[in-house]
Structure 1
């Protein structure tokens, strides 16, 4: 079964968005990127607006992980509003809306697609776990590489004292762009399947706080 997707990306990575659109076909990429601040203190209302107006009819979010997709992008000044906005305002809320599981808006899967210029920053070598004896690939998913909504739902259920997770302990799915583009449905399906897995019960997002503007 083909799943409709929403793409969360930074403008610097628009080239890759267009490549994915061409690969999957525009009929499978639904919705539109968040483009305005939703003034409300009611987080559930905000999530419902984003899901119904921006992410409608999608069940997997593709999060393009480039050089400007991290937690630590900082703030930029808006002369129109006379305040500083978190540069990641929109991506943060798009990922929160992905996790939102409310009436009429079932939680979506989240697939992180690591773009080529981030391979070295995210993927390291490997080591043998002294507790379980398995070969573990080093993956740097943290505030220097991604938004916290992704990192905190990637490592959800460590399976040994060293703190690494096997596949059953992750909700978010991670893939290199080159692997994704060869067989996108393999990874899209994998992300969607997480919404029906036991790990879905451990997903959290309301307790992840950010300074949106100052």
Structure 2
């Protein structure tokens, strides 16, 4: 099943990955509701006008893809877009429910160590360490927030990388190889949002 999507990204460093994601969506790109190269230039317009334009694009979508790039926190809009995506917004007699959200980690300098490192536990399971300084608090607070937690391994208390967090983080290459897998996972969690402790404010 296809879902209406919005991509939140820092234009100056993640435009190519945004384009790669749209291309990887294939026929499902018709359900993409965010910016494209044909979108109007809002550089010199007011903040309220930009917000209104973004709201019109995001309203009615069900999944937000957030590109996690090295300078994401320098964006004026991404944390606001995540916050808006998590709200339930009513227009006339229709309500846009909280979106599922998936973070796509951009490959930088040949890898992903700029954001996360992996170590192997004694039982063979991976422990992933994220550099939280490089992420907005609204992303950090919606990770490892499954309630009740369902451990991938009860012995070492390892959570599943996709279902253990409302905002899962996926490497660029993995996401591009099967975008529908991760979009569907994000959507499924939005349909079971009561199974997570959600932080909806920045």
Per the TM superposition, whether the score is higher than 0.5 is: yes
Q: Judging changes above 3 Å, is the alpha-carbon distance between structure 1 residues 8 and 142 closer, same or farther for their aligned structure 2 residues?
A: same
Task: Name the CA shift for 1:156/1:179 in 2 (closer, same or farther; >3 Å).
Answer: same
Greater displacement, 98-107 / 58-67: 98-107
Q: Is the 8 A contact 2:175 2:182 kept in 1?
A: yes
Aligned residue runs from structure 1 range 152-163, under 5 A: 152-157=141-146
CA contact (8 A) 1:107 1:195 kept: yes
SS of the aligned residue for 2:166 comes to coil
Determine whether 1:31 maps to 2:37: no
Deviations 1:159-187 (A, max 9, x none): 59xxx761354111211110111111011
Structure 1 residue 123 and structure 2 residue 113: aligned?
A: no
After the TM superposition, which parts of structure 1 deviate over 6 Å for at least 4 consecutive aligned residues?
Answer: none
Determine the structure 2 residue equivalent to 1:7: 7
Structure 2 counterpart of 1:89: 76
3-state SS in 2 of match to 1:173: strand
Match in the other structure for 1:148: 137
- Residue 128 of structure 2 is aligned to residue 138 of structure 1: yes
Give ranges in structure 2 of 5+ residues lacking alignment: 152-156
CA RMSD of aligned residues (A): 3.0
2:64 to 61, 66, 70: 61
Structure 1 residue 54, shift from structure 2 partner? 2.4
Q: Secondary structure at the match of 1:193?
A: helix
The equivalent residue for 1:109 is 100
Question: Does the residue aligned with 1:13 lie in a helix, a strand or coil?
Answer: helix
Q: TM-score, normalized by length of structure 1?
A: 0.70
Do the aligned partners of 2:86 and 2:98 also contact (CA within 8 Å) in 1?
yes
Aligned length: 177
